[in-house]
Structure 1
Amino acid sequence: MTLAFIFPGQGSQDIGMGKALAEAFPAARAVFEEVDAALGQNLSGLMWGGDLAELTLTSNAQPALMAHSVAAYRALEANFGVTVKDATFVAGHSLGEYSALAAAGSISLADTARLLRIRGNAMQSAVKPGEGAMAALLGAEVEQAEAACAAGRATGGACEIANDNAPGQLVISGTREAIDAAVAWSQANGVKKAMALNVSAPFHCSLMQPAADAMAGALATTDIKAPLVPLVANVSASAVTDPETIRQNLVRQVTGRVRWTESVQFMVREGVTMTGEVGNGKVLTVMQRRIEKSLNGFTLGAPEDLEAFAKALRGEA
């Protein structure tokens, strides 16, 4: 089987995430300790026994999800001998792209934690509370979502496709008035379900330009190496290894569409038959069933997951 490691994005967080890994594997525990030190915060304590509302704050959720993902990967590597070099590609959904780059040796763990803290704060502060919104369009084709966004922009506000997650699972983002107009258009024009999302900011649209500018500054001084295996980038849905291209893509990603459907389709065309979703939850594994049913997906968030995955790679029962 040809493997790709995929890394989840925001929304997968919950209290207790990563605790079992830290208790079972020293390599995982070391990741949480390094992230805590890099941020000057007991983030692991918040993850394992804190308040969910505080953990869900963008500035906390982003580095927390990355820490869990990298902890799972490091434990897989140290305890079961499975490394990123066993994969053909890595890919991550939105902030998960940073997790993928950390696992693939492109950005150091400490730098990744600091970048995600900057990214989370910048995305949260880019738009005043209440001015932006996002909505899910379920059962919609991309062309319908584009038409809904055009109806939204007729109000004079921003309205763009933020995430193409899977066939029939699209998310739009923009000003509240524009999103409301796009939802109304969708409901009147055959979209199965159009509903506002409970989010703190309008991510992945042009309103995030101040956050993109902040990330351009932060990334300009970050050491980025070529990843050990190619990264399938959100903004291009193609494989990249050049550090400068990665740097530019991470800036573009803040305002750009997460082209996840196309990213999975690209990996399948390149021969990928198995994915390991490294980190908390199973959102990407569920989405990929809608994209390509032939993919064999594993979730790698708990100690027992890692052992089962390693056995599957070795062809053991």
Structure 2
Amino acid sequence: MDVLIALYPGQGSQKPKMALDLYDASKQVRDLFALASDVSGLDLYQLLAEGSEEELKQTVATQLAVTLASRSAHLRLTELGFSFAAHSGFSLGELSAFAGGGILDDETLFSLINKRAVLMDEEAKKIEEVQGKLGMAAIIGLDYATVEQALEEAQIPGLYASNDNSTTQVVIAGLQESIAQGKEVLQAKGARRVIPLKVSGPFHTPFMEGATEPFSAFLETLDFKNPHFLVISSVDGNVIKDSQQAKEHLAMQLAKPVRWTEAMKHLSSLAQEKHAQVAETGFGTVLSGLWKNSNAEIPCRNLGSEDAIWNYKKELES
């Protein structure tokens, strides 16, 4: 069986009914749904089975549902005999990577997700009440350095480069009126498209600094372990070496940009070194798309559904 490097998606990958095929296929996944629902106080099966896209867009629901889908895919792959050489997650997905890497168990994970989501949502609402509507948008056709420099030169208040997704895709975040101004500036620099994202706050920007201290204090109350497997952080693209560094990175990432391009470079080298396959381990195709744009030699498979996992297993056995 192939050894995998798991990539876990972040907010924006959510969709009604995701992971329900894994729920139907596996008692272990059903037990995970029950645990996550108990810890969070939300009926996550009902949310995914009956909830609307608008309900899933709310920060708390999004973070719990996306994490549950990712952990379900990892659990199902493990159940069917796949092993993992390394884990990495985009933004929110970093927490799934920590669970996959053995840094924290699922009960701690969903407790952590619940707290993180609530703090981020509260912080976004506080800012919105004072400063106005907030959001995020993907900039297609420019790299991170170009976007960052253009925004600095334009001096648009309340707008930041928040995600370094790939060499041709960057996310900006902040006040919606500032995003509108930024759109004009970046299109003048050569941006091909500007796409609003399905998230409810300016994550990974200084707007989230008010949530960092209480989240860091909460993290110190939790039991983290040193990694059992390699975990590559999306905060800086480096290996998480121990439990304390894991806590520091989780607190830091709320208000710091996601450096996914750096993570992908590291992961691509690891894949070649360990002769491992790369898999988007969760719902959707966002990360496999970014991986393809990075021109990595080893492709990234989508292994977030029961059909995809079984088709891959049959391919290997044939």
TM over 0.5: yes
Question: Cα offset for 1:177?
Answer: 4.5
CA–CA separation in structure 2 for the residues paired with 1:102 and 1:207: 27
- 1:97 paired with 2:90, answer no
CA distance in 2, matches of 1:111, 1:246: 14
- The match for 2:251 is 251
* 8 Å Cα contact 1:161-1:257 kept in structure 2: yes
Q: Deviations over 1:14-38 (max 9, x none)?
A: 1111111111111111110110111
CA distance in 2, matches of 1:263, 1:36: 31
Quick check: 2:86–2:101 contact (8 Å CA) kept in 1? Answer: no
Which residue of 1 is the match for residue 104 of structure 2?
107
Alignment-mate amino acid for residue 57 of structure 2: T
- Worse-superposed segment, 54-63 or 139-148: 139-148
Q: Secondary structure at the match of 1:204?
A: coil
Within 5 Å, give how 1:34-183 maps onto structure 2. Answer: 34-78=35-79, 80-82=80-82, 86-127=83-124, 128-129=127-128, 130-152=132-154, 154-155=155-156, 157-183=157-183
Please say if residues 271 and 298 of structure 2, whose CA atoms lie closer than 8 Å, have aligned partners that are also in contact: no
C-alpha contact (below 8 Å) 1:265/1:292 kept by paired residues: no
Residue by residue over 1:148-182, the C-alpha shift from the partner in whole angstroms, topping out at 9 and shown as x without a partner, is 22145x24x34322111122110112334443332
Return the offset for 1:197. 4.1
Query: What is the match of residue 231 of structure 1?
Result: 231
- Percent identity of the aligned residues? 28
Residue 198 of structure 1 and its aligned partner are, at CA, apart by: 5.3
Please identify, of 4-13 and 267-276, the stretch whose mean Cα deviation from structure 2 is larger: 267-276
- Describe the SS at the equivalent of 2:258: coil
Deviations 1:110-129 (A, max 9, x none): 12112112211221221333
Which amino acid is the alignment partner of residue 284 of structure 1?
Answer: L
The alpha carbon displacement at 1:140 in A equals 0.8
- The farther-off stretch of 142-151 and 220-229 is 142-151
Task: Provide the C-alpha distance between the structure 1 equivalents of 2:197 and 2:240, rounded to a whole number of angstroms.
Answer: 32
Asked if 1:282 corresponds to 2:279, the answer is: no
> Over aligned residues, Cα RMSD in angstroms?
1.9
Structure 2 gaps, min length 5: none
State the shift of 1:225 in Å.
0.8
CA deviations over 1:32-66 (Å, ceiling 9, x no partner): 01101111221121112222211221101101111
Q: Is the 8 A contact 2:237 2:259 kept in 1?
A: yes
Residue 46 of structure 1 aligns with an amino acid whose one-letter code is L
* TM-score of the aligned structures, taking structure 1 as reference length: 0.90
Judge conservation of contact 2:271–2:278 (CA < 8 Å) in 1.
Answer: no
Give the C-alpha shift of residue 293 in structure 1. Answer: 4.2
Contact 2:160 2:173 in 1 (8 A): yes
Q: After alignment, is 255-264 or 129-138 more displaced?
A: 129-138
Which AA in structure 1 matches 2:216? A
Q: CA deviation at 1:274?
A: 2.0
TM-score computed with the length of structure 2 as normaliser? 0.90
Q: Give the whole-Å Cα distance in 2 for the aligned partners of 1:194 and 1:279.
A: 25
Asked if 2 retains the 8 angstrom alpha-carbon contact of 1:205 and 1:256, the reply is yes
Distance 1:132 1:89 in 2: 35
Gaps of 5+ in 1: none
